[in-house]
Structures are given as structure tokens and as C-alpha cells.
Amino acid sequence: MFNTFGNILKLTTFGESHGVAIGGVIDGFPAGLKVNFEAIQQELNRRKPGQSKIVTQRKEPDQVEFLSGIFDGVTTGTSIGFIIKNTNQKSKDYNHNTNVYRPSHADYTYDKKFGVRDYRGGGRTSARETANWVVAGALAKQLIAHISINAYTSSVGDIFLEKPYQSLDFSKIEENIVRCPDVEFATKMIDKIKDIRKQGDTIGGTITCVVQNVPLGLGEPIFSKLHAELGRAMLSINAVKGFEFGSGFCGAKMTGSEHNDIFNKDGSTESNLSGGIQEEYLMVWIFILELPSSRLQLLCKTSLP
């Protein structure tokens, strides 16, 4: 099941960037949830390319259509099928060069692996697939409304937001086009991207995600620990090259006595360097390098199933 992700909720997806439609099936979704369709569409809009001057200008409406599993606006407990039509599928803007492979893309690998090439574009490897994940994630989020999930751009190139997440106001993430909650750093990042774009180039960056109010003990030993499943999910996103949680790679330089999460009397810990699901927050750092820098902020706050 290589096109399926998840344990309790399972998402199975299909679709190529230039086919008729992309979509998926969500299995295991409980009955009785009154669906907020607008909230789903809002998340899709946030993912959509072409929203600001610092990103690619390709426009796709990305309207999700639910085909089953929801009746009178309420989930029925049966599998939820959905599609997003590809309105841009004419592929006028692509050369039908079947012998040209884009560097750092999967074109060449797919061609050799499958022996068949969809020369219209990225095909199944296109990051357009993440729109399917946003649909499933936005729906799943409505089941766990008490868990707070906030992601923001924490670096662009060598500009790092050097502030602890506890000092940030997450409500400001949406106030700028680079989705960094700190105005000063946001401005620097935007200037950096504009600069790079003038040179006809793109730039990498990192996303930080803070998840709060996670139930103690979420995830399952031995191979479905929460951080292992999150790692697999994040590393499935196009252009992501690394994943860390808790102290992350910084912890490699620390001693055990510096790193130990001392317990408080109420079961919480002084820090959460270990990233354990033992208290009220979990900190996840993900790293994304996207060659078209336009994609950078689109992945902010993407909630995966």
C-alpha cells in the first residue's frame, strides 16, 4: 500500500499534475462529525501557488469535491472519497521534450523505474499531490480541535529566527506573505527572497511546527512512535531533506546532564529536549529545501493525517 498513509485514519491517494483530477479515499473516519467545509477550503487556499509576488504565478482553483461518506454535512462512518479537478491540465506551458529531465526532480528516476513517461509535467511526483494531504489533514484537524498545531517559517537561507517558540505570537503567522510570526524577521526573509528572485534563483529554508495539548502517550511502540510517523510523513513532502524533534541535532553536542528532562511534581518536565509525548507540548522541526522558493510558505501549517 504505497499510496496509503495512516493508522487510525488512512488516506489513499491518486493523481497526476496534468491528469483529469487528483483525489483520495479517507478510510476509518468516524461517523457524526459536522464537517466545516469552509475550513477545508481555506487550508487548500493557503497551499495554493500564486498567492503573492514572491511565489510562482501559476493559478489553480483547487476546489475539493466530496463524493461519499458525508450526508447532510455529517460524516457517516463510511469511506470518504474526494477529488480536486485539474483545471490547468492543458499543459501548454510544458515542452513535450521527453528526453529532458529536470535536475533534482524524479523525472529521470520515474522514467527508468516504470519505463513510461508522462512528459506533461511532474505527473505523480508533482507537489500538487500535497493538496490531497491538505484535504485529509484539514478534515482530520476537525476531529482533534483541542490539539493546537502551529507551523511557521523559521529560516530562509541564512536568516534564522533566533527566538524560542514560547516568545512568539502564533496569531501573527498569517499576517505576512512569508508566514513568519515575527514582523522584523519576516521583513528580512521577504527581502531575501525578492533579492534571490531578481537573480533568477531560489532559496531554501526551514519550517518549525509546534504541537500543543497532545494527549500523553500518543503514538504506538515500537515502530509507530509519534516522532517516527511524523518523520515519515514530513520526509514524504517533496523537497524535504531532514527532520528533527525535541532537541534535534543541537542535542548531539550536549551532555546527558544538560539534556535530561527533569520531571516536575505534576508529571510535566522542565524542558522537552527529549521530545517525549509526556506533557503538554511537542516540538517538531522540519526542514524544507524547495527549488522554486514559491513553495516555501505553502507548506506552512500543512496538517498531515
Site for a copy of itself contains 99 (CB under 8 A): no
The binder of a copy of itself chosen from 76, 142, 150, 212 (CB under 8 A): 76
- The CA distance from 87 to 50, in Å, is 15
Q: Would you give the binding string for a copy of itself spanning residues 207-246, x where CB under 8 A is met?
A: ---------xx--xxxxxx-xxx-xxx-xx----xxxxxx
The binder of a copy of itself chosen from 208, 293, 297, 302 (CB under 8 A): 293
Find the shortest distance in angstroms from Cβ 171 to a copy of itself. 26
**Residue of 96, 131, 103, 121 whose CA lies nearest to 18:** 121
Which residues lie across from 206 on neighbouring strands? Answer: 155, 287
The binder of a copy of itself chosen from 36, 148, 212, 274 (CB under 8 A): 274
Site for a copy of itself contains 191 (CB under 8 A): no
Q: Which of residues 168-187 bind a copy of itself (CB under 8 A)?
A: none
- For a copy of itself (CB under 8 A), the number of binding residues is 118
CA count, 13 A, side-chain hemisphere, 304 = 21
Site for a copy of itself contains 273 (CB under 8 A): yes
Binding piece for a copy of itself, criterion CB under 8 A, among 40-48, 50-58, 110-118, 179-187:
110-118
Site for a copy of itself contains 276 (CB under 8 A): yes
Q: Residue holding cell 462529525?
A: 33
Give SS3 for 135: helix
Burial letters for 75-94: b for 16+ Cβ neighbours within 10 Å, e otherwise? Answer: bbeeebbbbbbbebeeeeee
Tell me if 204 sits within 8 A of 289, measured CB to CB.
yes
Binding piece for a copy of itself, criterion CB under 8 A, among 4-12, 56-64, 143-151, 172-180:
4-12
The binder of a copy of itself chosen from 52, 202, 212, 281 (CB under 8 A): 202
Find the shortest distance in angstroms from Cβ 297 to a copy of itself. 14
Binding piece for a copy of itself, criterion CB under 8 A, among 49-57, 73-81, 138-146, 171-179:
73-81
Q: Using CA atoms in the order 21, 68, 144, 286, what is the torsion angle rounded to 10 degrees? A: -20
The binder of a copy of itself chosen from 47, 75, 134, 176 (CB under 8 A): 75
Find the shortest distance in angstroms from Cβ 170 to a copy of itself. 22
Tell me if 205 sits within 8 A of 190, measured CB to CB.
no
How far apart, in Å, are the Cα atoms of 248 and each of 231, 244, 263? 12, 5, 20
Tell me if 214 sits within 8 A of 280, measured CB to CB.
yes
Q: Which of residues 26-55 bind a copy of itself (CB under 8 A)?
A: 27-28, 31-32
Q: Which helix (H) or strand (E) holds 13?
A: strand 10-14
Site for a copy of itself contains 3 (CB under 8 A): yes
Site for a copy of itself contains 62 (CB under 8 A): no
